[in-house]
Chains A and B, each alone.
Chain A
Amino acid sequence: MNLQQSVFEHSAGCMTSKALLSVQGLRVGFGSSDNVLHGIDFDLLQGEILGIVGESGSGKSVTCRAVMGLLPKTAHIQGIVGFNGGQLPASQSDELARLRGQDMAMIFQDPMSALDPLMSVRRQFALRGIDGSGTEELLLRSGLSDPGQILDSYPHRMSGGQCQRVAIACALARRPKVLFADEPTTALDVTVQASLLRELRKLARESGMSIVLVTHDIGVVAEVCDRMLVMHQGRLIERGNVQDVLRAPQATYTRGLLGAIPRTEGKGKRLITVNESGQGMSTAPLPPPPVIDTAAGPVLSFHAVNVTYPRPDGTRFAAVKDVSLEVYPREIVGIVGESGSGKSTLAKTAVGLVPPSKGYVDLDGRKLDWQRRPRRDRRFIQYIFQDPRGALDPLRRAVDQVREVLDLHAIGDRCARTALARQELLRAGLEEDLHERRPARLSGGQRQRVTIARALALKPRVLICDESVSALDVSVQARILNTLLRLRAESDLTILFISHDLSVIHHLCDRVAVMRQGQILEQGETTAVWKAPRQSYTRNLLAALPQLPVDAHGEKVPA
């Protein structure tokens, strides 16, 4: 089927420009294990931006690395890489290495560590044979307006966006014809992402460079790519022009992927996605959201909370400034902001992980004091972190980790606690046969379910989720969001949800607070803020959000 599609592309779609890079029958395996890639074919045309979308483990990064000859020697590689007329077996990584830098270049996800911390930007360029005016020109082309200052900077003095631009400038040093960009904006704030994507677009337009953009974010593909490939478990599931694929996805998997993305019109509705075997899942509508009753007063409230951190020079840095926020029973309140806005620091004052320097936090009108013993209050506010792997004990079974907190707070009958723990795991959506597993044998989404079960086992009044879905694949994220909405509707759970992802916040939250530089810029009903943001900062955030075409659709959203 892949072959047929390839032929089809050549004959119908792309008569005007010939393929600059053509990959045929690419297969990759590691050690004795199964193939990681099962035969990938695609063409890259001159000056186009090709998006490769897929979830973690789909093989999208391996594809790029195989073409670049960057896979470790232990990899078994088959297939043909055609470049600029010539053809090379993909297994000849030494031959492919000759193309690196001058014909093909690559940038990576984590811009801060892509650059050597011990080297100034000037030296990074010197290593690539560029000095003098050439460096300034490259930095300008990469969108850095003050090259003189950047040249003598070291990576730790630059922001993530600046580092990524320097990495791009380094990649462009020898005028490559193809740029592979592997999740180049994933670690960056949404406004930085938007300007970086514009820059890539400009590079392709102006210098005729072709770009392969690997991302998990379909929104990013919709913004900048001409054509796209959808990958799943080492196979190409779908390909075509971006607009065509998004408007009329052919494969079930693609439809599931699109359905998993929170959309404005589906706010609070069940996200329909596919599970790991590519099949659909429950489409039953979620129970209706509860009516928020503000008469009884807030369950959690922050009163003019201030947090300061010491700087190395002895002065103090204000991370949170005079923030007041109320959360009412059964409400989901979102805190949204870019990195360094103080949203996590604020939330941590509610559980005593960060002491406020001024101000205080109330639970049910009672001032919280984490110094006082016994610390029984702790069970009433539970916190879920971004990285479930780090939050779980790697040596203990899932069910024991949930039971442990029950033991700690002496909840329920001693003998009944294991059963209780299992019940919580089921409620959080972790199937029975996974309860005995240790975290290493669970997927990212399953691990996050364990931390959710562990938090909810204590029957907390408030659950704080700190970027709890940010590291998960979009389909896994969709299922966790469904779970959170269901749990809120079923019980009297109140959620404070922290995220940098505006679409997730919009989907989930009744009210939202936008934070910047330690302050809440504006807060209100989520729909109201989205429709008519009062602050220009909020408007910029919303404008920077990559958009899917309005008529793009996945599975039908049940009414």
Chain B
Amino acid sequence: MTRWIAARLGRAGFTLLLLISFTFFALMISADPALQILGPDAGPEAIAAFREKWNLDKPLWYRYLTYLNGVLHLDLGLSYRTGEPAIHMVLDRLPATLALMIPTAIVSLLIGVPAGIYAAYMHRTTADRVTMLLSVVGLAIPNFLVGILLMYFFSVRLGWLTPSGIVGWSSFIMPILTMATAEAGIFARFTRSAMIELLQHPMVETGMASGFSRWKVLFVHVLPNAALPLLTVAGLFMGSLIGGAVITENVFSWPGTGRLLVESVGARDFTVVQTTVLLIGSTMILANLAVDLSYLWIDPRLRDARQVARR
């Protein structure tokens, strides 16, 4: 088991290395931060001084290795714009983003999973079709459009909610709804199909024949088994949640990491972009590692396969 985890961690590290390298070269090739940050009126001396200060006059491979060395020592560099450590800038903004992501995850699970269960029990009825139609609508409408529509109705038309920034708990409603529509739709669909398959499974009938109630069969047999495919979805869900946060934060001028990312890309503040990407990448990798581990915890068949492999 420990060897398996070690192998997984090694693979995760390699993925992270690929990610860092790719963003590094893509950013470095894409533009010259000196021109962008100092502006068009800067003299050649100022530009040369900027380049020297940030090592931009050194060859690419030198900068790459220096950067990697920094990452290994948890030194992710200073922001070109503010001179602050990039990691501080990102971490400062993180709570605002988490304050969106965590409630969104909870809300979309609370809506999506029960909706999927309901649709599966109502399989091939109008209720099922309506639920699935809503879920398709939810995941088909782009996040920014949902955001703008919500803003139009609740802020412009009704004047109930403030359209941007954080002014109180009510500011959370629209961004969370914006992000949760798509995620709930995805969860509803996957829950439904996993459930439909499992409701046909002989163990359901066996449970019923043993005198279990529908609810008991649902909670004891069906949901734990349905959790297996849903876990994989949950791993991917992290990715779409982060993507959704980037878009939603910009729509609602939310002071989170997503907005910082977009600002930094616009300003060619490469260290901040890289730090954000690194953070997002590590989160994704850890989330999927957690998914793999929970499979082992839940499914005895995989546990056995692992033990055989270890021998």
Contact = CB atoms under 8 A, between A and B. Distances in A.
Interface string B134-177: 00000000000000000000000000000000000000000000
B209 A105 contact: yes
B51 to A, nearest CB: 55
B203 A116 contact: yes
A173 B212 CA distance: 13
Contact of A127 (B202, B220, B298, B299): B220
Secondary structure dominating the interface of A: loop
A70 B309 CA distance: 42
A128 B212 CA distance: 9
A101 B206 contact: no
A114 interface: yes
Contacts of B220: 116, 127
B224 interface: yes
A115 B203 CA distance: 5
Interface string B190-234: 000000000001110110111110001000110011000000000
Contact of A113 (B203, B209, B210): B203
Given A101-B209, A102-B211, A171-B210, A312 B203 contact: no
A128 B217 CA distance: 12
B300 A100 contact: no
A157 B301 CA distance: 8
A118 B308 contact: no
A313 B308 contact: yes
B58 interface: no
A118 B210 CA distance: 18
Interface in A290-327: 311-313
A115 B210 contact: no
Interface residues of A, number: 34
Contacts of B208: 70, 97, 100
Given A110-B202, A311-B308, A312-B305, A173 B300 contact: no
Given A70-B209, A100-B209, A171-B209, A120 B305 contact: no
A375 B201 CA distance: 41
A118 B299 contact: yes
A114 B305 contact: no
Contacts of B211: 97-98, 100-102, 174
Given A100-B209, A113-B203, A170-B210, A312 B308 contact: yes
Contact of A173 (B201, B210, B225, B305): B210
Interface residues of B, number: 24
A313 B209 contact: no
Given A113-B203, A120-B300, A312 B309 contact: yes
Interface string B272-296: 0000000000000000000000000
Given A101-B210, A105-B209, A114 B202 contact: yes
Given A101-B211, A312-B305, A70 B205 contact: yes
Contact of B202 (A108, A120, A128, A170): A108
B203 A114 contact: yes
Give the one of B206, B208, B209, B210 with max A CB within 10 A.
B209
Interface string A42-78: 0000000000000000000000000010100000000
A106 to B, nearest CB: 4
B304 A157 contact: yes
A454 B137 CA distance: 46
Nearest to A113: B202
A360 interface: no
Nearest to A70: B208
B311 A313 contact: yes
A171 B212 CA distance: 12
A100 B212 CA distance: 8
A128 B210 contact: yes
Nearest to A103: B211
B210 A154 contact: no
Interface of B: 201-203, 205-206, 208-212, 216, 220-221, 224-225, 298-301, 304-305, 308-309, 311
Interchain residue pairs A-B with the least CB separation, the first 5: A101-B211, A106-B209, A100-B211, A154-B300, A114-B206
11 contacts: A100-B210, A101-B212, A102-B211, A116-B224, A118-B224, A118-B300, A127-B220, A154-B300, A157-B304, A171-B209, A313-B311
Interface of A: 68, 70, 97-98, 100-102, 105-110, 113-118, 120, 127-128, 154, 156-157, 167, 170-171, 173-174, 180, 311-313
